[in-house]
Each structure stands twice: as structure tokens, then as C-alpha cells.
Amino acid sequence: MLKYYREIAIGVVPVLLLFLLLRGVNIVPFILISLFAAAFLYTAKGGRGNLTAAAGKRSRRANLPAPLSFEQIGGQERAKQELIESLDFLVKQEEIAKLGIRPMKGILLTGPPGTGKTLLAKAAAHYTDSVYMAASGSEFVEMYVGVGAGRVRDLFKDARQKAEKEGKSSAVIFIDEIDVIGGKRDGGQHREYDQTLNQLLTEMDGIHTSESPRILLMAATNRKEMLDSALTRPGRFDRHIGVDLPDKKGRHHILAIHAKNKPLAEGINLEKIAEESFGFSGAQLESVMNEAAIYAMREQSAAIQQSHLSMAIDKVMMGEKTDRESTKEERERVALHELGHAITAELVNPGSVSQVALSPRGQALGYVRHNPQEDRYLYTREFLNNQIMVALGGAAAEELFYGDRSTGSRGDFDTAMSIVRTMVESGLTELGIIDNHMMTPDSWAKVNKSILDELMLRTKGLLQAQRDVFLRSLDILVKEETLSGEQFRKLISEAGSLQSV
């Protein structure tokens, strides 16, 4: 019927325009209105969506991933084991049919950025010998209603067709940043978002699960709490796999993987680099190895030295060195500030300082790199108090030597108040177990002042007895700009002033 009306319009409109032209009527406005109406109807009926989806199809096919196995991914042993177990439901279809196991429809990967969620999805496609298609959540968002839903349908349709063409029994679709289209529905007027999410729910809802090839949807997000409950329920995303930051063993594995194609000097200790890179993601560790190779190239070195790796950690953590020039008084103040952090850290946790540096990096005029002895996932009140004292050590040192503070302590105070918030929310303060949503700004100000003032007095008391260490370390730090942890501990030992808390 629509085609019939279109043919009538094609025949009638030119005749009508010609008649008006012969009568002397200006037909230019009519032509413009007709063109605008045709463009609007074409877009509303999905023409734009079809064109964009076709372009997306071409880009997805042009950017096929290289085969990637789970052995090539380091630092995620638990996540890999759980994922492989989930994928076996797709690989061993005869066994799961005998046991009456329902085919898995979706796997949700959650965790911080750079931990390898996309790599795990590629490895999953390789492990299951499936067709792999990837898209980002933003590719489905459009201001025109219905376009996003059409793109979802096209993505699943393309995956099935491609699997059939290549003779595969399954296809893996990976959607990165799925929270863009899978966010909680609030009943507002975002019809395009709702229709896109509804279409995705429909595709996962079991309509096509009996068909071959099977479709496994994998998705990644950094904000699982933002997803709609209809999307995360069993029967849609059946497995939720956390992809966390790697521990020390995992970091060493990741560094070893990225070091395979790089010339390393004899005696390189990757385990030490794994210790110093606490809290780094897999992407950051890859950047460390890459930056170390760049430092080696700058110095025209044939192999990567331990010093290059150490400098690379500083760059990834703090940024590149800057050319800021400061006065002698400012350099001494910065040096005393950083020594305050370092001495406090050594007093509350001996052996934790890896390096004290006076060279400016990023926005910092100096910094202390800490070397945690072991990864921690649970924190006691005493440990958090010690961390606050380390953060306050710089300001305390400035007050002891200059009688006042500088703006260089602003970031340290932010860190200290963040730790106080963690303590309050964990019930580790005198307030006891409370709901942090009941805390008013005045309440937060009072608890911050109470805890920070007490710990500042304790920190000043510790540093007051270490003036000899300050003065001995200051001369070396100002001249050489860096002080290694071993040198620093030797100075403390020679001063005979190491005290336990």
C-alpha cells in the first residue's frame, strides 16, 4: 500500500508543479517544502538508521580482531577461569543438553578501566571458535526515535548471517560501555533510550535461543550500579564477572607478557617493578613497558635498564618532567615538604619509601614514591590513621621549619579527608556505625576537624624528633634532586633516630 501511494505521489506532484508554473505561481517554496517533507519522512522511517547501521556494519567487518587466546592475557586468573567455565556452556552443547542446562545468553564484565575487559571478550570469541562483533554503547544513541533499536536489530542480524556464512555455530557480540544504553529507566521522556534498551532486552529474551547459530552477548561497564535491573537479571546477563585490578603476581605476569618483544638488560628485576606499581591496571603496566622503551631510545641504549623502568613508573603515575624553574627558597620548602611525607612513612611503616624526588612532574613540584610491602584489601583503623599521618607529613614539616603552610598541601588534605570519609562510612570513628547519607556538611566538617587536628599533632610530635634527618637529607636532595629509599633509610639509621610508633 505504501509503495502504491508513493507511485501516485511521484506521478501527481510533478504535474501539479507544472500546472502552477503555467499559471504564474512561484513554485520555489513548494519545491523546498516538498524536499524538506521527503527528507523528514525518510529519516523518521529509519532511512538514516539504515544508512548508519550499514556504515557501522562495514566498519565492524573491516576491523576484525587478531586471534587472541586467554594465555596472552595476564593478571586475571580468577576472571579467566570463571569466564572459561561460562563459555564451556557454549562449546560443550551436547553435554549441557543432556543435563538440561539452559544455554547462556549474556556475560557482564565489570571493573575499573584498563583491566582487560575487551581483551577477555576477544579471547572468548577465539576460545569458542565464534564470530566476533564489537560495538560501543554510544553507537546506538541517536536523537531520532527508533534508530537505536534498529541498530540493535541489525547488529544481532549481522552476527547470525556472518556466522552462517563462515560456517560457525555461534557468534559473540561485545558491547563496550553498555551503561550508555542500559541505564536505569526513570519514567522520563527519553523514548529513544527506552526503545533501544527494550529492543536489546527483546533480543536477549529467548526469542532466538533455539536457533542456530547461537548468540552470546558480552558487555562491559565501569558502573554496574547504573544498569537497569531488567538487563542484569538471570536469563539475560546470567553471569557477572568482576575484572579487578591485578595483584602483585598478576602485575608481574602482565609485565612479562609486554616485555617479550622488548630487549631487556641483564639483571632486570620485573618483580621489583611489580611491587612499585601497586594499584596499576593492565593498560598502565603496558604503558610502563612502552615508556621504558622510549627512555631507552632517548638515551640511545641497546637495552632497557632498570632505571628506565623506574622512570617509566614515575611518568605513568605523575606525568612527564616539566621545565618549571623555582627559587632556592621554594625548592627547599618543597624538599622539606616531601621529606616530611617520607620520614612519616618510614616511621609508621618502615621500608615503605621507594624514592624521594624534587624534580617537578605534572602538577607536582616533588613527590615521594611508596613501595608497599604487600597488597592490601582490608584496612584497619590504625592503618588508615597512619595513612592520614603520611598525607599530613608534608604540611607538618612546613609548619615545623617555616611556621606556616603553603598551597602545596591542598592535594594532601584532599587525600586525608577522603580517608576520613572511608573511616566514617566503615564505622571506624567515634560516631560508630551510621548512615553516611544522614551526615550534614556541618557534621562532616566536625568529624574532619576532630580527626585531622589530632593526627596533625601526632605527626608534628614524630617529626620534631627528626630534625637531624631533615637537615642531612635536605642537602643531598637539593643537590641531586632524587634520594633512593636505600639512601634515605641509611641516613635515618646513621642518625640513630628511627623510632617505632
Name the DSSP letter for residue 436: G
Q: Are 132 and 158 in contact (CB under 8 A)?
A: no
Q: What is the pLDDT of residue 1?
A: 46
Report the chain (501 residues): mean pLDDT per 10 consecutive residues.
Answer: 55 70 73 70 48 41 58 85 84 79 84 88 85 82 66 86 86 87 69 75 66 82 86 86 88 91 90 85 92 93 91 84 75 91 90 83 78 72 94 94 89 93 91 85 91 94 88 86 84 64 44
Q: How long a stretch of residues is the chain?
A: 501
E-strand ranges in 36-130 read 106-110
Residue type, 371: N
Q: Give phi and psi for 240, each to the nearest 5.
A: -115, 115
Give the Cα separation of 104 and 93 in Å (integer): 11
Q: What is the pLDDT of residue 345?
A: 92
Task: Choose, from 139, 275, 338, 398, the residue flagged as catalytic.
Answer: 338
CA distance linking residue 203 with residue 236, whole number of Å:
9
For residues 477 and 335, the answer to whether their CB atoms sit within 8 Å is: yes
The secondary element (H helix, E strand) that includes residue 89 is helix 77-91
pLDDT value of residue 190 = 55
Q: What is the value of pTM for the model shown?
A: 0.69
Distance, CA of 227 to CA of 281 (rounded, Å): 24
Q: Write out the E strands in 210-301.
A: 214-221, 239-242
338 noted as active-site residue:
yes
- Could you tell me if 290 and 256 are in contact, meaning their C-beta atoms sit under 8 angstroms apart? no
Supply the DSSP symbol for 371. Answer: -
- pLDDT on residue 206: 54
**Rounded to an integer, what distance in angstroms lies between the CA atom of residue 454 and that of residue 285?**
38
